[in-house]
């Protein structure tokens, strides 16, 4: 083997060729006579199905250890390996909008491939402190429950917690829609360890909702090697950084799921033979997650704001993966299955959701006091539910009954019709300014809507719509009670209650 490899000595570094020395699952050792590749360099095995690897460590002066980002089927000892001389790169620019990519920047949506133009390395340093903005700014979403109780930080990270079927995807598509229309920004969805079915469904839903043209999607799917799942987040960040720094736009980065990123790193670490750390996680867990999260920030030209779905293993919030992830989050949005079953959408749990931004010196004293009053009222109602279930609401004091009335109206006011669900519900979507949300909650807490039915506050935008909806409901009720309606009912054999 040595004699055949020495022929590569005269080649330029980027074209130097090596050969596979050993192969263990996705870990490949490659022998080079000269021109040892640097860390993170992309190596390639040319064939019918090209095999792409990334250098993870340099074993000695001739051997590098790599992790394969594609299946290694057909690879064998002695296979020729090409040193590309550069790290894994992805395309950047406006041409990405409306497209779906994999970790290598290859289009996987069945449309024409993206070729030429500018390509950038997926490994970038976070912007230096001197370029980062130190101001704490709120990013309004137009979604009442989030803006009031768990406001997002511009350039910050929010965690989205929730099981299947509680509305995570709908909330994500609505935030993308509002980002495009309200902030003239770009949305970028990154699926780490996504199921193929979920990726297809999300693509179709975004297309139906009309937000795909201002969205870029990347997927490192569940059936791909751990190396691809580990790097797809970095590829998404490289694309997002172009829109922030070059196009000078605000970017909404949606990541699903951060735990799968950590899990991919754990698999790679195990394959590399590193000693595991606590609970079997990789010893580099904190470093890997920090390198990823620190690139999500705001600068003088724009901001990357991230909403990240976070899976908590076995609901154990002391798990190292959860602990490290929570350390980077500035807001937590918790979706409740119970509220979803009651038809309260978005199904945000007002008592478990919170944000570090909900502080008087950031959001202002009025917002802070209103949010506290809303949360206090809803918490008191939660405590009273057991008594109501056992004894009935009539057994409560007048003050407690007032609290229940306010809480039930607040719950319904914090629901909202979404633009992304118009084709399913038939209700026009609403985007509500923060000032209108605060005004509505203040008026409900002051009992201005005590005479209105709870239904009048359900699925509306601003609180002023309650009067219009209440009038419409009254008119409909009056029409249903008209003599013509009674005649129709009698004809159909329905007995009518008559006075005197």
| Residue with the two structure tokens 């690879």 | 75
Please state which of the ranges 144-158, 169-183, 451-465 shows the lowest mean pLDDT: 169-183
- Pairwise CA distance, residues 150 & 350, whole Å: 9
Which is more confidently placed, 496 or 173?
173
CB within 8 Å of 112: residues ≥ 6 apart? none
Note if the pTM is more than 0.85. Answer: no
Average pLDDT over residues 178-201: 83
pLDDT confidence band for 81 (50 / 70 / 90):
very high
Contact 187, 252 (CB under 8 A): yes
Q: Convert 264-298 to b/e letters by CB count within 10 Å (16 or more is b).
A: bbbbbbbbeeeeeeeeebbebbeebbebbbebbbb
Which is more confidently placed, 406 or 489?
406
Please state which of the ranges 170-174, 250-254, 301-305, 331-335 shows the lowest mean pLDDT: 170-174
Please state which of the ranges 74-88, 164-178, 242-256, 339-353 shows the lowest mean pLDDT: 164-178
Q: What percent of the chain has pLDDT over 90?
A: 59
Q: Annotate 458-493 with DSSP letters as a single string.
A: TT-SSTTHHHHHHHHHHHHHHHHTSHHHHHHHHHTT
CB within 8 Å of 270: residues ≥ 6 apart? 276, 282
Please check the confidence at residue 372 and state whether its pLDDT lies above 80.
Answer: yes
Please check the confidence at residue 5 and state whether its pLDDT lies above 80.
Answer: no
Give the model's pLDDT for residue 36.
92
Distances (CA, A) of 292 to 159, 200, 287: 15, 26, 9
pLDDT confidence band for 47 (50 / 70 / 90):
confident
- For 454, the token pair is 């709870």
Give the model's pLDDT for residue 496.
44
Average pLDDT over residues 269-273: 91
Active-site option among 174, 194, 224, 411: 194
Give the model's pLDDT for residue 34.
87
Please state which of the ranges 85-99, 366-380, 412-426 shows the lowest mean pLDDT: 412-426
Average pLDDT over residues 96-117: 93
Secondary structure letter of residue 310 according to DSSP: -
Question: What are φ and ψ of residue 61, in 5° steps?
Answer: -75, -5
pLDDT confidence band for 144 (50 / 70 / 90):
very high
- For 58, the token pair is 């340099």
pLDDT confidence band for 190 (50 / 70 / 90):
very high
Q: What percent of the chain has pLDDT over 70?
A: 92
- Pairwise CA distance, residues 196 & 222, whole Å: 7
The 3-state DSSP composition of the chain as helix, strand, coil percent (nearest 5) reads 45, 20, 40
pLDDT in tens, 225-241: 999 999 999 999 999 99
pLDDT in tens, 164-182: 778 888 888 888 888 877 7
Give the model's pLDDT for residue 487.
42
pLDDT in tens, 57-68: 999 999 999 999
- Pairwise CA distance, residues 482 & 488, whole Å: 10
195 given a catalytic annotation: yes
- Pairwise CA distance, residues 338 & 342, whole Å: 7
Region of 265 (left: φ > 0; alpha: ψ -120 to 50; beta: rest) is alpha
Please check the confidence at residue 138 and state whether its pLDDT lies above 70.
Answer: yes
Which is more confidently placed, 394 or 492?
394
CB within 8 Å of 136: residues ≥ 6 apart? 153, 357, 362
Active-site option among 24, 195, 372, 385: 195
pLDDT in tens, 474-491: 676 666 665 554 444 444
Distances (CA, A) of 68 to 170, 225, 289: 35, 7, 21
Please state which of the ranges 192-196, 208-212, 394-398 shows the lowest mean pLDDT: 208-212
| Residue with the two structure tokens 């509500």 | 432
| Residue with the two structure tokens 């297309």 | 207
- For 347, the token pair is 């199904």
Active-site option among 65, 168, 244, 375: 168
Give the model's pLDDT for residue 313.
82
Average pLDDT value for the chain: 87
Which is more confidently placed, 311 or 416?
416
CA nearest neighbour of 271 among 69, 88, 122, 82: 69
Please check the confidence at residue 282 and state whether its pLDDT lies above 50.
Answer: yes
Contact 339, 382 (CB under 8 A): no
The secondary structure element, H or E, covering residue 84 is strand 80-87
- Pairwise CA distance, residues 471 & 301, whole Å: 48
């Amino acid at each position: 083997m040595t004699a055949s490899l020495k022929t590569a000595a005269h080649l330029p570094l980027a074209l130097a060729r090596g050969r596979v020395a050993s192969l263990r699952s996705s870990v490949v050792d490659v022998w080079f006579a000269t021109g040892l590749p640097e860390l993170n360099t992309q190596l390639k095995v040319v064939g019918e199905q090209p095999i792409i690897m990334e250098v993870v460590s340099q074993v000695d002066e001739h051997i590098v250890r790599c992790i394969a980002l594609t299946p290694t089927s057909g690879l064998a000892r002695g296979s020729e390996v090409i040193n590309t001389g550069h790290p894994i790169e992805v395309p950047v620019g406006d041409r990405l909008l409306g497209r779906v990519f994999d970790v290598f920047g290859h289009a996987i949506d069945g449309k024409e491939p993206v070729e030429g133009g500018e390509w950038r390395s997926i490994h970038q340093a976070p912007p230096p402190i001197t370029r980062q903005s130190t101001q704490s700014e709120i990013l309004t979403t137009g979604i009442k429950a989030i803006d009031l109780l768990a406001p997002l930080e511009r350039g910050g990270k929010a965690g989205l917690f929730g099981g299947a079927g509680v509305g995570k995807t709908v909330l994500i598509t609505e935030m993308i829609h509002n980002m495009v229309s309200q902030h003239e920004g770009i949305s970028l969805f990154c699926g780490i360890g996504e199921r193929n079915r979920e990726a297809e469904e999300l693509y179709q839903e975004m297309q139906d909702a009309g937000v795909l043209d201002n969205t870029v999607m990347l997927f490192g799917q569940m059936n791909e090697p751990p190396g691809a799942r580990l790097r797809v987040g970095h590829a998404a960040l490289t694309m997002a950084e172009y829109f922030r720094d070059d196009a000078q736009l605000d970017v909404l980065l949606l990541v699903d799921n951060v735990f799968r990123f950590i899990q991919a790193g754990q698999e790679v670490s195990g394959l590399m033979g590193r000693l595991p750390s606590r609970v079997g996680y990789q010893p580099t867990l904190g470093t890997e997650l920090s390198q990823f999260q620190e690139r999500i920030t705001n600068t003088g030209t724009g901001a990357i704001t991230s909403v990240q779905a976070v899976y908590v293993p076995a609901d154990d919030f002391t798990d190292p993966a959860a602990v490290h992830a929570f350390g980077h989050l500035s807001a937590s949005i918790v979706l409740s299955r119970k509220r979803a079953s009651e038809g309260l959408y978005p199904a945000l749990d007002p008592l478990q959701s919170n944000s570090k931004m909900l502080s008087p010196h950031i959001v202002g004293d009025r917002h802070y006091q209103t949010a506290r009053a809303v949360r206090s009222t809803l918490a008191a109602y939660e405590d009273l539910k057991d008594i109501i279930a056992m004894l009935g609401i009539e057994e409560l004091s007048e003050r407690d009954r007032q609290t229940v009335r306010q809480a039930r109206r607040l719950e319904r006011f914090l629901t909202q019709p979404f633009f992304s669900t118009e084709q399913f519900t038939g209700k026009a979507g609403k985007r509500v300014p923060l000032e209108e949300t605060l005004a509505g909650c203040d008026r409900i807490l002051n009992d201005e809507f005590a005479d209105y039915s709870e239904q009048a506050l359900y699925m509306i935008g601003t609180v002023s719509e309650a009067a219009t909806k209440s009038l419409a409901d009254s008119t409909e009720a009056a029409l249903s009670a008209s003599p013509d309606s009674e005649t129709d009912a009698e004809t159909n054999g329905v007995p009518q209650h008559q006075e005197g």
